Structure 1
Amino acid sequence: MLSKKLAQNIVDKMMEVIPYNVNIMNNKGIIIGSGDSSRIGSIHEGAVDALDTKETVEIFENHKYTKPGVNIPIFFRNEAVGVIGITGLPEIVRPFGQLVSITAELLISQEYSINEHIIKQKLIEEFIYEWINNKEYSEEFIQRGNSLGIDVNNERIVTVIHHEDKQEKKVKSLIKKFLKDGEYSIHISSNRIALILFYNNYTINRINRFKEQVEKVDIKIGIGRFNKFIMYSLMDAVNAINIGSKLYNEKIIYDYKTIKFFHEVKSLLNRYDGDNIIKKISDEGNDKELLQTFLTHMEMNGEKVKVSDSIHIHRNTLNYRLNKIEELTNLRFDNYLELYQLITAYIRYKLNS
Structure 2
Amino acid sequence: MKLTDQLGQEIINRLSRYIDVAINLMDPTGKIVASTDSARLNQIHGGAQRVIETLEAQQITKEISNQYSNTKPGVNLPIFHREELAGVVGLTGEPDQVFQAAGMTQASVEIALEQLYIQQQSFYQEKQWNHWFHRLISEGETEDLEKEARYSLRADLKKAWQVLIFQTPSPFDFAERLRIQAEQLQLSPLFILPFQENSVVMPLPFQEHIPSIKTDGPAAVGEPGYSAKGIYTSFQQASQTIKIAGKAGEMIYSGAFKVERLLSNIAKETYIEITAPYANRLNRLETPYLETLHSFFKNDFKMSRTADELHIHRNTLLYRLDQVHKKVGLDARNFKDAIILQAILINH
> Is TM-score (shorter-chain normalized) higher than 0.5?
yes
State the distance in 1 between where 2:33 and 2:266 align.
Answer: 69
User: Cα–Cα, structure 1 residues 186 and 176, in superposed 2: closer, same or farther, change >3 Å?
Assistant: farther
Q: CA–CA distance in 1 between the matches of 2:311 and 2:25? A: 77
Deviation at 1:24, TM superposition (A): 2.8
Q: Which residue of 2 aligns with 1:236?
A: 237
What is the match of residue 176 of structure 1? 183
Contact 1:72 1:101 in 2 (8 A): yes
Q: 1:125 to 1:70 in 2, by over 3 A?
A: same
Whether 1:344 and 2:329 are equivalent positions in the alignment is: no
CA 186–269 in structure 1, closer or farther in 2 if over 3 Å, else same: same
- Mapped partners of 2:216, 2:13: distance in 1: 46
Within the alignment, does 1:145 sit opposite 2:150 as a pair? yes
Larger Rg: 1
Counterparts of 1:206-245 in structure 2 under 5 Å?
A: 206-207=209-210, 210=211, 213-214=212-213, 219-228=218-227, 229=229, 230-245=231-246
- The reply to whether residue 185 of structure 1 matches residue 183 of structure 2 is no
Q: Deviations over 1:234-274 (max 9, x none)?
A: 2223223333548xx99733133x43344334333641322
Distance 1:68 1:276 in 2: 92
Unpaired runs of at least 5, structure 1: none
| Cα deviation, residue 113, structure 1 | 2.2
CA displacement 1:43-102 (0-9 Å, x = unmatched): 25645764786684666589xx957424636353787654444444xxxx1325654554
How far residue 2 of structure 1 moved from its aligned partner, in angstroms, is 1.4
- Give the secondary-structure state (helix, strand or coil) at the position aligned to 2:24: strand
Query: Partner amino acid for 1:226?
Result: G
- What is the aligned partner in structure 2 of residue 326 from structure 1? 325
Structure-2 residue corresponding to 1:197: 204
Q: 1:268 aligns to what? A: 266
Query: Contact 2:163/2:201 (CA < 8 Å) preserved in 1?
Result: yes
Q: Give the SS at the match of 1:43.
A: coil
> What residue is the counterpart of 1:23 in the other structure?
24
TM-score, normalisation: structure 1: 0.69
1:155 Cα shift? 0.9
- Residue pair 1:298, 1:346 contacting (<8 A) in 2 also: no
State the alpha-carbon separation in 1 of the partners of residues 297 and 189 from structure 2.
Answer: 44
- Give % identity: 16
Cα distance per residue 1:197-226 (max 9 Å; x no partner): 334xxx2x222xx1xx34898653312231
Matches of 2:318 and 2:52 in 1, distance apart? 98
* 1:231 Cα deviation from its structure 2 partner: 1.9
- CA separation in 1, counterparts of 2:85 and 2:321? 86
Q: Which residue of 2 aligns with 1:119?
A: 120
For 1:73 and 1:171, how far apart are their aligned partners in 2? 40
Pair 1:173–1:349, CA change in 2 (3 A): farther
Residues 149, 100 of structure 1: CA spacing in aligned structure 2 closer, same or farther, 3 A cutoff?
A: farther
Question: What amino acid maps onto 1:198 in structure 2?
Answer: P
Match status 1:74 vs 2:78: yes
Cα 1:180–1:317 change in 2 (3 A) is closer
Residue 188 of structure 1, CA deviation: 2.9
1:87-106 alignment, distance < 5 Å? 87-88=92-93, 93-96=94-97, 99=100, 102-106=103-107
Contact 2:164–2:201 (Cα < 8 Å) also in 1: yes
Q: Residue 164 of structure 2 is aligned with which of 156, 160, 183?
A: 160
Q: Which amino acid aligns with 1:43?
A: Q
Q: Does the 8 Å contact 2:48/2:76 carry over to 1?
A: no
State the superposition RMSD in angstroms: 4.4
What amino acid does structure 1 have at the position aligned with 2:78?
I
Q: 1:24 to 1:11 in 2, by over 3 A?
A: farther
Q: Which residue identity lines up with residue 160 of structure 1 in the other structure?
A: L
Mapped partners of 2:51, 2:161: distance in 1: 55
Indicate the residue corresponding to 2:142 in structure 1.
136
Conserved 8 A contact 1:160-1:192? no
Q: Which amino acid aligns with 1:159?
A: V
